[in-house]
Amino acid sequence: MVALVGPGSDRVLGTVGRAGRVRAVAVDRGLAPLERAIAAQRLSGGDGAPVTVHDADPLAAVVDAWVARFDGTGAAGDLEVQVGAAVAGWRGRSVELPDYYVLLDPDAWDRTRRHWYLGVLVAAAPARVVPVRSAEAAGPALANLPAGRWWPELPRLLADVDRRVPDQLVRDPAAPGTSLITPG
């Protein structure tokens, strides 16, 4: 199972789903993020396709709350509530992490969201997060997913996530147009 994440992921599902070994699963975008992930997981099994792709990230609500927390726009306790809901869904076996996350043009995302996927998740399982520059690159990426260590159990992955501070880009005034990555 592969979660396609990023703006336009719903449009990309239609193109990658035409490949013979890939089955695209579309889930009602009106559902809450965790409900979408549960529905995608239910729809993904049983047809024999080697790769099932959906755009229903089971951690979407956690990501949104984490981003809001570190961007200073979140409500107190929201991150903890979302982490608790995700862990409860995982413990109840109604939701799992996807085998892979394919990220659509993460360079265009805001820095905090980008750090969640390319910082927090990559630290947990580097080969399981695959950034691609464009929608056109998603198909070839799906055909060449790398092997690598599996995700840690979700409670361990999300433990102390409220203390995982995103990196911050800091402009070096001596070198216009360049940036330094420093811990935030």
Encode pLDDT of 142-166 as tens digits: 888 999 999 999 999 999 999 999 8
How big is the chain by its Cα radius of gyration, in Å? 17
Distance CA 94, CA 34 (A): 10
Higher per-residue confidence, 65 vs 1: 65
Indicate the range of 31-45, 94-108, 119-133 predicted with least confidence.
31-45
In the chain, how many domains are there? 1
For the cut 50, the answer to whether the pLDDT of residue 46 exceeds it is yes
Report the mean per-residue pLDDT for the chain: 85
Angle at 117 between CA 68 and CA 172, to 5 degrees: 80
Q: Tokens standing for 104?
A: 């659509």
Q: How many helices (H) and strands (E) would you count in the chain?
A: 8, 7
Give percent of the chain with pLDDT exceeding 90.
55
Angle at 82 between CA 77 and CA 86, to 5 degrees: 150
Q: 62-76: per-residue pLDDT in tens?
A: 999 999 999 999 999
Distance CA 27, CA 31 (A): 8
For the cut 90, the answer to whether the pLDDT of residue 21 exceeds it is no
Predicted structure pTM score: 0.83
pLDDT of residue 152: 96
pLDDT of residue 9: 87
Domain that holds residue 117: 2-182
Assign 128 a pLDDT band (cuts: 50, 70, 90): very high
